[in-house]
Structure 1
Amino acid sequence: MRKEKGMTQKQIADQMHISDKTISKWERGLGCPDVSLLGELSQLYEVNIEKILLGNLESNDLETGNLKRIKFYVCPDCGNVISSLGDADISCCGRKLTPLVAKPADEKHIATVVDDEGEYYITFDHEMNKTHFLSFVAYVTSDRSLFIKLYPEQYAAVHLPKNGGGNLIKKNSSRLYYYCSQHGLWIF
């Protein structure tokens, strides 16, 4: 990790206020950093602490970026939404996040799609209050995704362009994801 950063042992040691001999010992496997130094090492090397402890910095398999494999993550504390196209270690607010599993739309989470002159107008018969609401809608085709953030106390509806390369009405070349704050991720 130090070499990836283009730094010497002395430079790392000076930044951490320790000796370069200590860095040398760590790199030769003759010692381990004190737990109190892991946070600083993590920031310095821009690496997850868990990866430092495991000594495992293997890359994920090369993904082709296929949007059909898109994964969504939502932080239960702050509501932050993150997406990825491949395997990823995602965390927010100090918690490791797992990808959401999309469920097929049910009668309480159904989308109504109207084909309206060059765009889709999509409505949801869903509560939109501060404790139960749709947080986002994502329209995903084979080569692009459009993310739309929704907020409590607004009308649960979105306009989507039809020129996205997919046909939402047929549901075979595009997908519509939406996230309910109480019941998780849904797919139409």
Structure 2
Amino acid sequence: MNQNQISEIIRNNREKRKMTQMDLAKQLYVSDKTISKWETSKSCPDLEMMEAIARVFQMSIFEFLSNQIIETTNKQGNCLKAHFYVCPICGNVLWTLSESMVHCHGISLSSLQAQKTNEDHFISIQKIENEYFVSISHEMTKKHYISFIAAVSSNRIQFVKLYPEQNAEAYFKIDGVKFIYFYCNQEGLFKKRIDYTMM
């Protein structure tokens, strides 16, 4: 991609969003003269600045550089189909709306398979006004603890990260929650369906 193409992409995207050069300049913390130079091919933004421009235009850097908006083919994106991943090295927690290739610390992570709660991982869910109070009967030592609790509805995931030596509990907005997930660092992922008849 040459400088003329980049200048054209910046100008076209700015005009499409009905932004002036000054509007764009303010969001990028540069002068309107800088924007003018980019759009007339007198200078070119560096890669870091291109990433910032892409963010302003609500595009990925790939979309910006290819001058194409990528449409998702998954029109049925649903948080109830969430997949959870935990890095065994750093404890990083990630989730996706479909099976994905996820890596952390150079390791390929597998989607965790949720199991039903049991006596050793008993979960209590209480409705308090417009929230669920979730507590898990579990030790919270540095060697054995609940790492996170998540409340999942069709359009959102509410997530609370937990740490050893604190209580394994959290509050979540009710907001259509269908499942509670929690992760034990030794036994893995657990899943509990909200039973509305017991609330």
Normalising to structure 1: TM-score of the pair? 0.62
- For the residue of structure 1 that corresponds to 2:80, the secondary structure is helix
For 1:136, which of 148, 151, 160 is the aligned residue?
148
CA distance in 2, matches of 1:66, 1:118: 23
Contact 2:99 2:111 in 1 (8 A): no
- Counterpart in 1 of 2:111? 99
Contact 1:63 1:86 in 2 (8 A): no
- Counterpart in 1 of 2:176? 165
Unmatched 5+ stretches in structure 2: 3-60, 62-71, 193-199
Q: Which runs of 4+ in 1 moved over 6 A?
A: none
Report how far residue 84 of structure 1 moved.
0.4
CA offsets, 1:121-159, max 9 Å, x none?
Answer: 111110101110000011001111101101110011111
Distance 1:116 1:62, change over 3 A: closer
1:118 aligns with 2:130: yes
Report how far residue 118 of structure 1 moved.
2.1
Question: What is the total number of aligned residue pairs between the two structures?
Answer: 126
CA distance in 1, matches of 2:187, 2:75: 30
Q: Percent identity?
A: 39
CA distance in 2, matches of 1:114, 1:147: 17
CA offsets, 1:22-42, max 9 Å, x none?
Answer: xxxxxxxxxxxxxxxxxxxxx
Report how far residue 117 of structure 1 moved.
2.1
For 2:120, which of 98, 108, 111 is the aligned residue?
108
- Counterpart in 2 of 1:89? 101
- For the residue of structure 2 that corresponds to 1:178, the secondary structure is strand
- Counterpart in 1 of 2:191? 187
